[in-house]
A and B are shown apart, each in its own frame.
Chain A
Amino acid sequence: ETGVTQTPRHLVMGMTNKKSLKCEQHLGHNAMYWYKQSAKKPLELMFVYSLEERVENNSVPSRFSPECPNSSHLFLHLHTLQPEDSALYLCASSQEERGGRYGYTFGSGTRLTVV
């Protein structure tokens, strides 16, 4: 298994659907992150989990709901999304909450399209 695995790779959903993105890391890291990457916009940090506890929520709308059941798994639950939520959603992990010292390991991302 490679370091950080994200599923699905692609997702098309209607605005009334409920879906979940899954992230799994096999690196023994203690912190996990959700990033959003929209076209022609900077990478946006959405959520940070450290030792399964959410430590940051960057003003993300409530239609995005993260869940971290253990240090290896991270989910992003989606409901009643808007077309502007279409983006690449990237999961990352790091050795510690202060992940910036050592950098992050990223997954391949989920390309989400909301129709």
Chain B
Amino acid sequence: AQKVTQAQTEISVVEKEDVTLDCVYETRDTTYYLFWYKQPPSGELVFLIRRNSFDEQNEISGRYSWNFQKSTSSFNFTITASQVVDSAVYFCALSEDSNYQLIWGAGTKLIIKP
């Protein structure tokens, strides 16, 4: 069965520290898609990245980077030089080609202290 685990319920760091949010997934499909979304206090879920199962290249976007490792079924998200505006709940999600429904992790609440 498909599943997404975000073991870190809450992380608190001081501004400018680097922080990594973990995401581990389970799926039997060979074709699947992984996502990260950010939910700031305003409530809207903001799309950050999509990765398909055939593309294991790591991605960097400014201070954000993602490490996709099929060998460990992980899709971790790192914020470099964190800022207070990064404070939010971050969700990892999985979808399989055989099922249109996104499977969500429980989310990690990230608190960046000034």
Contacts and interface: CB of A to CB of B under 8 A. Distances in A.
A56 B45 CA distance: 21
A43 B91 contact: yes
A56 B44 CA distance: 23
B44 A107 contact: yes
Interface size class of A (residues with CB under 8 A): 20 to 34
Contact of A101 (B33, B46, B47): B33
B95 interface: yes
Given A101-B33, A101-B95, A106 B100 contact: no
Interface stretch (A20-28, A64-72, A73-81, A92-100): A92-100
Given A42-B106, A43-B91, A108-B42, A103 B101 contact: no
Contact of A108 (B44, B100, B102): B44
Interface in B90-108: 91, 95-97, 99-102, 104-107
Given A108-B42, A111-B43, A100 B104 contact: no
Contacts, number: 54
Interface string A40-62: 00110100100000001000000
Contacts of A56: 101
Interface string B44-56: 1111001000000
A105 interface: yes
Contacts of A97: 100
A107 B42 CA distance: 11
A103 B92 CA distance: 12
Contacts of B46: 106
Given A100-B99, A101-B95, A42 B104 contact: yes
22 contacts: A45-B101, A88-B43, A97-B100, A98-B100, A100-B95, A100-B96, A100-B99, A100-B102, A101-B33, A102-B50, A103-B35, A103-B50, A104-B45, A105-B47, A106-B37, A106-B44, A106-B45, A106-B46, A107-B44, A108-B42, A109-B43, A109-B44
Interface of A: 42-43, 45, 48, 56, 88, 90, 92, 97-109, 111
